[in-house]
Chain A
Amino acid sequence: MVDGMIALETSQLKLAYGERVIIDGLDVEIPKGKITVLIGCNGCGKSTLLRSMARLLKPKTGTILLEGQAISKMATKEIAKQLAILPQGPVAPEGLTVLQLVKQGRFPYQSMLRQWSTEDEELVNKALHATGLDELRDQDVDSLSGGQRQRAWIAMTLAQNPDILLLDEPTTYLDLTHQVEVLDLLFTLNRQENRTILMVLHDLNLACRYADHLIAVKRGAIYAQGSPEDIMTPSLVRDVFQMDCKIISDPIFGTPLLIPHGKGRSVVRKEG
């Protein structure tokens, strides 16, 4: 599919909640060092797929390979050193400070024998710095704004020092400013530190702007995948989201920009 290495790969994956099958026989590859975004309507199985790749949901059948190794055969702490997951809408316990939250990211590296080290300290400081939270380290997580809070959680996953970062709707409940703030941070982490990023996003325009690789999921199967420029068409949007739209080129970034049809006011544009 894409040139280069594969970070995550599924083969004949079957996922179900109890008796309800969500995904059956799925093969997908997530390219290494790129930003991949899963899109699709509510309930299509994109979050379920993401959760299974982070071993939060055990597959009924099929395998998931992390850098070529089956995750079912790996120790869970070893997985945590390579892959971090930020679930949807995480809630910090009351009274937890940013520093305490970020420190938890070092959990996979600790054991009865190996306690807090200078390396742990350095990586925590680095994570705080990368997310711009140096000044806020002693504040309670509860007291932060939505965007800051999400950055604090991302800092925790960075303290894990993973090659691969999975995020389930990291921008939900954030206003536009904070959505861009969080996505810019993830973009920097990818471009400067070469971390693979796989996330679920709902805003298609932002997905097109930030994704190197886009995967459109429909009813538990992959409808299309590729670069947003190649695959984002009105027919895809109609088939996957049951919505008509016009697609133009973003005047600033040149990436695909969707304008949904529907009702609304209409004004005559004044030229010049």
Chain B
Amino acid sequence: MKIYTHQGKWLALIISIFVLILCMLGSVLLGYTDTSIHTAIQAFSHPTGVFDQLVITEVRLPRALIGAAIGGALAVAGALMQALTRNPMASPDFIGVNAGASFFIVAAMMLFSVTSLEAFLWIGLVGSAVTSLAVYLLGSVGSGGLSPLKITLAGAATAMLFASMTQGLLVLDESALDQVMFWLAGSIEGRKLELLQLVVPYLTIGFLIALFLGKSINVLQMGEDVATGLGQKTWLVKLLGLVSIVLLAGSAVSVAGPISFIGVMVPHIVKGLVGNDYRWLVPFSITIGGIVLVLADLAARFVMMPEEVPVGVMTALIGIPFFLAVARRGVGKA
């Protein structure tokens, strides 16, 4: 079901915003503690501090907001990476940005006993910037310069390197394992709203750059030579794209840990809806990324009630069959 007309796309975008809001409402109302709409309204209009109200304001509301923001950020970062590397399977997890940021955060936690949230955020951003740069440089080595294939290989190698170094650290210090493990699985549970407030400026800049780049990315997607021939400063587009990816993926991993598959899955769903036009792909990735992560987080509360599954495990559970389906049917036709 592909939407071709301009009006249809606007309508679909507005609908997706409503669906996102509905999903977030569901995330606020549903869970182990039974709450009604009435309780939810009262939690904000007449706060009394009873348990049910606290569940809503302190636990579920942050979770819904964080889920929407991080889901959107991961999806847009994935969409940008797919264009810059010309690889339809690229995403923050496959190209090593998540693994790199995770390693930096785990190393800081374990080696330097860093625990402040703000410090995590900076370390996460620096980690994703360093990893992106490393992948970029590795991909440029050798004749022919930077090619999509080399970037993909460099990303896969970097991801494995950082993942094994993280595991090495965890083997060295088992006592820290519990604390780190939950974060490493990727979760938006138990994160305070202040954490989201810290990353809002970076997410906003990242989203704005991505929205602004839409048309330029359409041109760059036709290849470096064609884009240059059309008068594009391709280095500038790639640089801005990279900045946006680092801001979005770095913020996401700092807040929620490495949540996999959203970055590769959502852009494919969106391409199925509106095609390869990045002027539409980016805004739809924001809303649909939010919807998928909020829904995955909701599902994570119910699959093993009363226990919760980390949402990163949930996205992988949804993601892997999706991945296989895309591989079978052919890229871009999902």
Contacts and interface: CB of A to CB of B under 8 A. Distances in A.
Given A18-B143, A87-B223, A104-B218, A95 B271 contact: yes
Given A104-B218, A107-B232, A94 B276 contact: yes
A101 to B, nearest CB: 8
A78 B233 CA distance: 12
A85 B230 CA distance: 8
Interface of B: 88, 143, 215, 218-219, 221-223, 225-226, 228-233, 271, 275-277, 331-332
A105 to B, nearest CB: 7
Contact of B276 (A17, A56, A93, A108): A93
A76 B233 contact: yes
B145 to A, nearest CB: 9
Nearest to A105: B230
Given A55-B228, A95-B275, A95-B332, A90 B222 contact: yes
Q: Give the one of A93, A95, A104, A157 with max B CB within 10 A.
A: A93
Give the 10 A-B residue pairs with the shortest CB-CB distance, closest first: A80-B231, A77-B231, A87-B225, A85-B229, A108-B231, A94-B332, A93-B221, A107-B230, A76-B231, A95-B276
A134 to B, nearest CB: 18
A247 B222 CA distance: 41
Interface in A77-92: 77-81, 84-87, 90-92
The prevalent SS among residues of A at the interface is mixed
B298 to A, nearest CB: 31
Nearest to B330: A94
B228 A100 contact: no
Contact of A104 (B219, B233, B331, B332): B219
A79 B228 CA distance: 10
A96 interface: yes
Nearest to A85: B229
A110 B216 CA distance: 11
Nearest to A75: B231
Nearest to A160: B230
Interface of A: 17-18, 51, 54-56, 75-81, 84-87, 90-96, 100-101, 104-105, 107-108, 110, 157, 160
A90 B222 CA distance: 7
Contacts of A80: 229-231
Q: Give the one of B143, B223, B225 with max A CB within 10 A.
A: B225
Contacts of B219: 104, 107
Contacts of B143: 17-18
A214 to B, nearest CB: 24
A80 B331 CA distance: 32
B276 A96 contact: yes
A196 to B, nearest CB: 16
Contacts of B229: 54, 56, 80, 84-87, 157
A107 B233 CA distance: 12
Contacts of A84: 229
A18 B229 CA distance: 21
Given A76-B228, A80-B231, A90-B222, 17 more contacts: A18-B143, A56-B229, A79-B231, A80-B230, A85-B225, A87-B225, A90-B225, A93-B222, A94-B332, A95-B271, A95-B275, A96-B275, A100-B277, A104-B219, A104-B222, A107-B230, A108-B231
A69 to B, nearest CB: 15
A194 to B, nearest CB: 21
Nearest to A115: B215
Contacts of A17: 143
B276 A87 contact: no
B216 to A, nearest CB: 9
A105 B143 CA distance: 30
A206 to B, nearest CB: 24
Contacts of A76: 228, 231-233
8 contacts: A54-B228, A76-B233, A77-B231, A78-B231, A84-B229, A85-B229, A93-B221, A95-B271
Contacts of A105: 230
Given A94-B332, A95-B275, A96-B276, A56 B222 contact: no
A45 to B, nearest CB: 17
Nearest to B226: A90
B223 A94 contact: no
A157 B229 CA distance: 9
